[in-house]
Structure 1
Amino acid sequence: MTYIHDSIEQLKKTSPAQTEFYQAVEEILESLAPLLEKNPKYRQHSIIERLLEPERQIMFRVPWVDDDGKIQVNKGYRIEFNSALGPYKGGLRFHPSVNASIVKFLGFEQIFKNALTGLPIGGGKGGANFDPKGKSDAEIMRFCQSFMTELHRHIGPNTDVPAGDIGVGTREIGYLFGQYKRLVNRFDGVLTGKSTLWGGSALRKEATGFGCVYFAQNMLEDEDSGLENKRCLVSGSGNVAIYTMEKLYELGAKPVACSDSNGTIYHEQGIDLDLVKEIKEVRHARLSEYCDTHEDAEFTAREDYPEDGEQIWRYKADVAFPCATQNELNEHDAQCLLENGVKAVVEGANMPCTQKAIDLFVEQRTLFGPGKAANAGGVATSQLEMAQNASMTRWTQDEVDEQLQCIMRRIYNDAKQTAEEFDQPNSLVLGANIAGFRRVADAMIEQGVV
Structure 2
Amino acid sequence: MTKIDEKLEPMLAEVLRRNAGETEFHQAVIEVLESLGRVIAKKPYYADHALIERLCEPERQIIFRVPWVDDQGQVQINRGFRVQFNSALGPYKGGLRFHPSVNLGIIKFLGFEQIFKNALTGLPIGGGKGGSDFNPRGRSDGEVMRFCQSFMTELQRHLGEYTDVPAGDIGVGGREIGYLFGQFKRLTNRYEAGVLTGKGLVYGGSRARTEATGFGATYFVSSMLATKGMDFEGRKCVVSGSGNVAIYTIEKIRQFGGIVIACSDSNGYIVDENGIDLDLVKEIKEIRRERISQYARSKGNGTHYIEGGSIWDVPCDVAMPSATQNELTGKDARALVNNGVVAVGEGANMPCTPDAVRVFQGAGVLFGPGKAANAGGVATSALEMQQNASRDSWSFEKTEERLAAIMRNIHDTCAETAEEYGAPGDYVLGANIAGFERVAAAMTAFGVI
**TM > 0.5 fold call:** yes
Q: Does 1:120 align with 2:124?
A: yes
Q: Does 1:227 align with 2:207?
A: no
Encode CA deviations 1:4-52: one digit per residue, 9 max, x unaligned.
Answer: 2211111111111100000000011111110111111111131110011
Q: Which has the larger displacement, 9-18 or 132-141?
A: 9-18
- Whether the 8 Å CA contact 1:21–1:104 is kept in 2: the answer is yes
Cα distance, 1:360 vs structure 2: 1.1
What is aligned with 1:380? 379
What is aligned with 1:342? 341
Cα distance, 1:337 vs structure 2: 0.2
What is aligned with 2:441? 442
Aligned partner of 2:303: which letter?
A: A
What is aligned with 2:98? 94
Picking from 9, 12, 26, the partner of 2:13 is 9
For residues 294 and 62 of structure 2, the distance between their equivalents in structure 1, rounded to whole angstroms, comes to: 41
Aligned partner of 2:377: which letter?
A: G
How large is the Cα RMSD of the aligned pairs? 0.7
Encode CA deviations 1:198-253: one digit per residue, 9 max, x unaligned.
Answer: 10000111100000000011110111231111110000000000000000000100
For residues 419 and 225 of structure 1, the distance between their equivalents in structure 2, rounded to whole angstroms, comes to: 21
Cα distance, 1:426 vs structure 2: 2.1
What is aligned with 1:218? 223
Q: Does 1:363 align with 2:332?
A: no
- Whether the 8 Å CA contact 1:174–1:195 is kept in 2: the answer is yes
For residues 326 and 441 of structure 2, the distance between their equivalents in structure 1, rounded to whole angstroms, comes to: 31
- Whether the 8 Å CA contact 1:76–1:147 is kept in 2: the answer is yes
Aligned partner of 1:81: which letter?
A: F
What is aligned with 1:391? 390
What is aligned with 2:425? 426
TM-score (normalised: structure 1) = 0.98
Provide the secondary structure at the position in 2 that maps to 1:3: coil
Picking from 130, 149, 156, the partner of 1:152 is 156
For residues 399 and 171 of structure 2, the distance between their equivalents in structure 1, rounded to whole angstroms, comes to: 24
Residues 174-253 of structure 1: pairs in structure 2 closer than 5 A: 174-188=178-192, 189-253=194-258
For residues 289 and 228 of structure 2, the distance between their equivalents in structure 1, rounded to whole angstroms, comes to: 39
Residues 66-77 of structure 1: pairs in structure 2 closer than 5 A: 66-77=70-81
For residues 300 and 283 of structure 2, the distance between their equivalents in structure 1, rounded to whole angstroms, comes to: 14
For residues 110 and 215 of structure 1, the distance between their equivalents in structure 2, rounded to whole angstroms, comes to: 17
Cα distance, 1:449 vs structure 2: 1.0
Encode CA deviations 1:119-150: one digit per residue, 9 max, x unaligned.
Answer: 00000000000000000000000000000000
What is aligned with 1:265? 270
Provide the secondary structure at the position in 1 that maps to 2:295: helix
For residues 182 and 269 of structure 1, the distance between their equivalents in structure 2, rounded to whole angstroms, comes to: 49
For residues 7 and 263 of structure 2, the distance between their equivalents in structure 1, rounded to whole angstroms, comes to: 42
Provide the secondary structure at the position in 1 that maps to 2:306: strand
For residues 203 and 229 of structure 1, the distance between their equivalents in structure 2, rounded to whole angstroms, comes to: 25
For residues 294 and 316 of structure 1, the distance between their equivalents in structure 2, rounded to whole angstroms, comes to: 21
Q: Which has the larger displacement, 335-344 or 30-39?
A: 30-39
The runs of 5 or more residues in structure 2 that have no matched partner are: none
Aligned partner of 2:304: which letter?
A: E
Provide the secondary structure at the position in 2 that maps to 1:32: helix
Q: Does 1:284 align with 2:303?
A: no
Picking from 295, 302, 307, the partner of 1:296 is 302
The runs of 4+ residues in structure 1 deviating greater than 4 Å are none
- Whether the 8 Å CA contact 1:362–1:426 is kept in 2: the answer is no
Aligned partner of 1:357: which letter?
A: A
Provide the secondary structure at the position in 1 that maps to 2:324: coil
Aligned partner of 1:239: which letter?
A: N
For residues 227 and 19 of structure 2, the distance between their equivalents in structure 1, rounded to whole angstroms, comes to: 41
Aligned partner of 1:299: which letter?
A: Y
Q: Which has the larger displacement, 171-180 or 285-294?
A: 285-294
Cα distance, 1:157 vs structure 2: 0.5
Encode CA deviations 1:156-188: one digit per residue, 9 max, x unaligned.
Answer: 001000000000001000000000000110011
Picking from 147, 167, 170, the partner of 1:166 is 170
Encode CA deviations 1:320-367: one digit per residue, 9 max, x unaligned.
Answer: 000000000000000000011100100000000000110111111110
Cα distance, 1:294 vs structure 2: 2.6
For residues 28 and 311 of structure 2, the distance between their equivalents in structure 1, rounded to whole angstroms, comes to: 24
What is aligned with 1:47? 51
Cα distance, 1:193 vs structure 2: 0.3
Encode CA deviations 1:42-71: one digit per residue, 9 max, x unaligned.
Answer: 111311100111000000000000000000
Aligned partner of 1:107: which letter?
A: G
Aligned partner of 1:296: which letter?
A: G
The runs of 5 or more residues in structure 1 that have no matched partner are: 306-310
Encode CA deviations 1:395-432: one digit per residue, 9 max, x unaligned.
Answer: 00000000000000000000000000011002100000
For residues 19 and 422 of structure 2, the distance between their equivalents in structure 1, rounded to whole angstroms, comes to: 34
For residues 315 and 169 of structure 1, the distance between their equivalents in structure 2, rounded to whole angstroms, comes to: 29
Picking from 69, 84, 96, the partner of 1:80 is 84
Cα distance, 1:281 vs structure 2: 0.7
For residues 306 and 230 of structure 2, the distance between their equivalents in structure 1, rounded to whole angstroms, comes to: 32
